Structure 1
């Protein structure tokens, strides 16, 4: 028995020695350790060392210490002095990881990914867990910054089993944030591994409509995937949804003007809101009670909120008037959660205030998104003179340039008689005509020269009324620019039903509310049968009223799931961090006087 035990001990010792012989320290090289010395001392030791490998490791250690102390510039300078290619694979992985971290600090994700493509990375799995986690984390961050959301989620799922404590929790939440931000068509799980489970959870949550349906979908998913990390520890936003689902909305105050200059707008919003309410009743739901308040007779917001609280109101929808919304936005807090039907000028209001409206700025950003999706890069802008045109142009320009587009010309439209000259200036046609005249004088005779326009304008962003657009498109044709695509906001479309109005706008593309583009929607058909004006330009306000009703119980849901959307009648609705509801819209174009719906693109 003792002989057998000695033999077993000898075999274990031999195996241990063999493992040591092939350990990272011998075959892959030593990794830099947390130093006891300062950056200056490490660099001094490196300068005095007669061993090139040891000197390189000391400098690598100094570069890492500088990065950890928040001095990325010094770290990069020291790293440049390290002969990385002369190191063993382990330190090469360390150096490549640090280089990637420094690239991200400079907001250069592609450079970070290039650093992480070093051949030494194939040995990563043989290195200590701490290094695998560090490299995997920066890889995930670089992929996310580069827009490779699914790949970033994969990278975080890979390192998840190696993490503990707070780091594990943060990584867990980051995985959900990434997966939840994917569009629905990418959430098609093809496997039963952890990634497939995350995707099926996100798909279940996004496919459900109401909070109650989402909660049921989450509970069902957890029952089917009891061992999945997200079932064991539900991501924080989904835990918040559970809390929201346990607090049903019982009574809403609808605060809209019934008199004065905004009475017709208030009426359209109210009728759209109530149409959605009656539809919910017909569908067998138990919608909240609605209490009406007249904002045109409001003398004090404090008095209104006191009365609303006494009436048992849990949510206020309104007001519409911009001065009132501005007052609400300036307050530190509100006694009742409020969905204002307009936007204030400030960026951030109290935590209880949400804002929703038909902002022209949303449409300008939508034009920017669509043009990018269509592969365009260089824009010209035509907007009306005045404050409204300036706001729309600013929203488009900021979004377009922030995403790499360029603006090569701008014109502010005012008097129709100046239109031809403005378009000629935009396309530099007068310069072309001048060159032709110069050539004629040089050769001393007639030269057959058709004016040529500048070729660097790929499309025109147009914000204009139907009457202005009817003049602009034919003028473009006349000025040899009829082939330049025009992308417009919904303002070019009057929804009057008069086809002759659009004959001169052939080919103009514009974004529009689903309400006005889908005449067969069941709710729209019901509403227009009772209120025919809802089929015209007022239809946008009816659509907004419908969406205000549908948003009311789901504000907390949009806040808890920032990447989720509600497919509404005024657009696809999402929420910004400062609690503003923003819209993305479908697209159409004029074809021989008819409105033709365009296929959607990736959002």
Structure 2
């Protein structure tokens, strides 16, 4: 089958190439005196363009995207008729969507050629509208995507309508709550207003299952005629069933003695805080039983022991090796929310979920987000360590899969700050500039006026570093003529503690960070009062415990509906098809020495 497809592809490309060459030959053969055949020539050109566009269409159908893009690049929209221009624009948009490039797709679908779609039949208008919504989603513009889908909703039927409605709900969960609260006061569209009101319930009551259910029922009464009131998004319809089958006994498997005791205790303190706060709010809370994983080498037996004691859901274990061991158990009769990721990739299996704070996930998010901002050439700076290589490789792999270019990768020796300057000079090709100056100076007796120059093919710098390293690297970049380059980083760059004097050295660096480390809120105050040591030394693990308690009872919903998003302390939480909890972190920037949340990325700030 593959050989047949490739053979057909070659035929299509050959036909298109022959057509292109024929067009060139025809143009060369026409003499200036043959003006009376101009109309005939024009008709012939249109016929050739039709053949070429049909070849593009066929290649897209065969998923030969690179070949289709190559043929499109050889066409000139200016010599096409209106129908051909419309096809040309749609094919370019489709290829951008297949490649996951939302911003490029939007340029085709909403840019200067959007007028071409005005006279199309309704079915085509709907397809283009759905593609525009998808492009906005890829481009990180959830509100614009939701608006597009709400506008299209009355025109859709059956499964398409249901999927569209579920996607509206998914998009609105990604819009910051502050933005939704502002829009509620300004919007006049009844359908959009209803959706915004429903989204507010998800944002403000999503961590309390029973409160959220009550809020949804109240919303349905208030918005009886709203499309979603008659048929709620699928992920909300299941909430009542989940509420009626809540576990009443939860087992927590953590290392409470031994080398990982402090880490395990910090997670335990987060779970206890979340449990206690839920009880204070009048929620039904489960019985908690804690099992010390350091007491045994067989985590599967400890899991079985927890079940024997009446546990209905397990949170933990923490150590990677134990997560791996439990993932390979023959049977998992009750759900497990492991608090780390197995060393080897685990296929999706019933009742097994993984939730951790992997820095690789942050690097991958950064790659996705800056790609949508139009960045294409990146310089990577990372420590020459196992951690540095692993996390930077996660970024590089994601970046190159998108088609991005790694302009250079520089691994610096974290233990030798005195060598940082030479590492950055080499990465920016400043050494080459200085060598040229030295060579010229030797040839010319008189002094040369010289200004150091860095390489110019870099759009941004991905910096992987800890605070002390970053505070030295950023000033060196500035001094080496790279002060104009945007710098993005993982949360490792920020200590989590306000230090205005020292963080002035990383002024302007933009990084992803958990809401927990950017905010001072009531919950953090409660943790500080009850468990000050855990908060001071293992703040992120406390937040992991808080979120583990928040989502353990939503796992069945998250496993069935990948559109579920829960606003947690460690980020916005969803679940992949493999049962891994995925975190989307906030963006922050060092502004006047202070870490300040950026409500949207630069690109998303244009969301309308």
TM-score interval for Structure 1 and Structure 2 normalised by the shorter chain:
0.7 to 0.9
Residues 482 and 137 of structure 1, relative CA distance in 2, 3 Å threshold? closer
> Structure 1 residue 292: deviation in Å?
0.6
Matches within 5 A, 1:84-123: 100=90, 104=94, 107=98, 109=105, 113=109, 122=118
- The within-5 A match list for 1:420-435 is 420-435=421-436
Alignment of 1:194-343 (within 5 A): 194-209=191-206, 210-331=208-329, 334-343=332-341
Deviations 1:238-261 (CA, angstroms, capped at 9, x unpaired)? 212222122223221110012222
| Deviation at residue 102 of structure 1 after TM alignment | 9.4
TM-score, L = length of structure 1: 0.73
CA-CA distance at 1:403 after TM superposition: 6.0
Q: Distance in 2 between matches of 1:102 and 1:601?
A: 28
Match of 2:359 in 1: 360
1:437 lines up with 2:427 in the alignment: no
Structure 1 residue 506: Cα displacement = 5.3
Distance 2:366 2:89 in 1: 38
5+ residue gaps in structure 2? Answer: 1-42, 72-78, 100-104
The alpha-carbon distance between structure 1 residues 262 and 455, as it changes in their structure 2 partners (threshold 3 A), is same
CA pair 111-441 structure 1, distance change in 2 beyond 3 A = closer
Distance in 1 between the 2:585 and 2:566 partners? 10
Residue pair 2:460, 2:487 contacting (<8 A) in 1 also: yes
Provide the C-alpha distance between the structure 1 equivalents of 2:203 and 2:144, rounded to a whole number of angstroms: 20
- 144-153 or 310-319, larger mean C-alpha shift: 144-153
Q: Supply the RMSD in Å over aligned alpha carbons.
A: 4.4
After superposition, residues 129-144 of structure 1 pair within 5 angstroms as: 132-133=122-123, 135-144=125-134
CA distance, structure 1, for counterparts of residue 454 and residue 475 of structure 2: 16
Which structure: larger Rg? Answer: 1
Separation in 2 of the partners of 1:86 and 1:378? Answer: 33
Under a length normalisation based on structure 2, what TM-score does the superposition of the two structures give? Answer: 0.72
Bigger shift: residues 407-416 or 136-145: 136-145
SS in 2 for 1:536: helix
How far is 1:392 from its partner?
1.0
Distance 1:171 1:367, change over 3 A: closer
Q: CA deviation at 1:289?
A: 1.3
Aligned to 1:16: none
Deviation of 1:227 after TM superposition, in Å, equals 3.2
Post-superposition shift, 1:382? Answer: 1.3
Is contact 1:547–1:570 with CA below 8 Å preserved after alignment? yes
Higher relative CO (Cα under 8 Å, sequence separation at least 6) belongs to 2
Does the aligned pair in 2 maintain the 1:333–1:352 contact within 8 Å? no
The separation in 2 between residues aligned to 1:457 and 1:537, in whole angstroms, is: 37
Are the equivalent residues in 2 in contact too, given 1:157–1:175 (CA < 8 A)? yes
SS of residue paired to 1:145: helix
Change (3 A) 1:193 1:409: same
**Cα gap change, 1:172/1:447 in structure 2, threshold over 3 Å: closer, same or farther?**
closer
| Residues 534 and 278 of structure 1, relative CA distance in 2, 3 Å threshold | same
Alignment partner, residue 145 of structure 1: 135
- Residues 329 and 346 of structure 1 are in contact (CA less than 8 Å); yes or no, is this contact kept in structure 2? no
Gaps of 5+ in 1: 1-51, 78-84, 125-130
Q: Would the aligned equivalents of 2:108 and 2:114 in 1 still touch at CA under 8 Å?
A: no
Whether the 8 Å contact between 2:477 and 2:483 is mirrored in structure 1 is yes
TM-fit CA distance, 1:405: 5.1
Distance 1:236 1:285, change over 3 A: closer
Look up the SS of the partner of 2:337 in the other structure.
strand
- Alpha carbons 2:263, 2:541 under 8 Å: kept: yes
Tell me the number of residue pairs that the alignment of Structure 1 and Structure 2 aligns: 527
How far off is 1:398 after superposition? 3.9
Partner of 2:35: none
Distance (Å, rounded) in 2 between the aligned partners of 1:206 and 1:397: 34
Could you tell me whether the CA contact under 8 Å between 2:203 and 2:567 is conserved in 1? no
Distance change >3 Å, CA 193–CA 491, structure 1 → 2: closer
